[in-house]
Amino acid sequence: MNLVRATHQLAIEMSVLARYSLAKGHQNNAIDYYKQAFQWERKAAFMTTPIAEDKDAHFILLRSAAALAFKAELYAECERLIEICLAEHPPLFIQEDIEELITLIQEKSTSPKNIKITPATDNIQIEGLLTKVDAEENEITIKDDSRQLSYAIIVSKEQLSAIIKDFWFQKVHIKARQTSYGVMVLEKIKAAA
């Protein structure tokens, strides 16, 4: 059994324990098991790539990890995985499942029992130094010296190598959008003037 399959199997086992806990009326235990299942499934998803021979497996695992994050009430993580999956151009059947997850996330973000959630914002402008690239997490970090803040921004795997080659440790201007749970997604990047 390969490592991806073994890791995925651990996620399944934690998910079964979560459903069992829910059936017994133990909501808090179920959420804890869903969090563990999410962590294992996320690991399995990031062990695969959309370029592999069986690229559907990568997208299936990403979708599954996003769904487990939702069940674990980790809504920002759910949005993050959704954005990563969509940026990598998943097959149609995965896109349909992701759309359902997006609808569920939107319902949660407008629910009156939740803490106030920042609405999704378009056209966020950031200028700063590209200080970190995390290929496993599909993320770049921009350090904005004027505000003394660092921003983690989701990028597609396709964009990562070009960003490293063209902008590594340079000052850049970023246009991004922010999801309802604060996940920042790259729209455009260019060298700062």
From residue 60, alpha-carbon distances to 10, 79, 160 in Å are 16, 16, 22
Contact between residue 145 and residue 166 where contact means Cβ atoms under 8 Å apart: no
CATH 2.40.50.140 domain extents, the chain: 121-191
Write down the CATH number for the domain with range 3-109: 1.25.40
Pick the CATH number of 121-191 from 2.40.50.140, 3.30.70.260, 1.10.3720.10, 1.20.140.10: 2.40.50.140
pLDDT at 42: 95
pLDDT at 63: 97
pLDDT at 114: 43
- pLDDT, tens digit only, all 193 positions of the chain: 499 999 999 999 999 999 999 999 999 999 999 999 999 999 999 998 877 677 799 999 999 999 999 999 999 999 999 999 998 889 999 999 999 999 999 888 765 444 343 444 557 899 999 999 998 888 999 998 788 899 999 998 888 889 999 998 899 999 999 988 889 999 999 999 7
End-to-end CA distance of the chain: 52
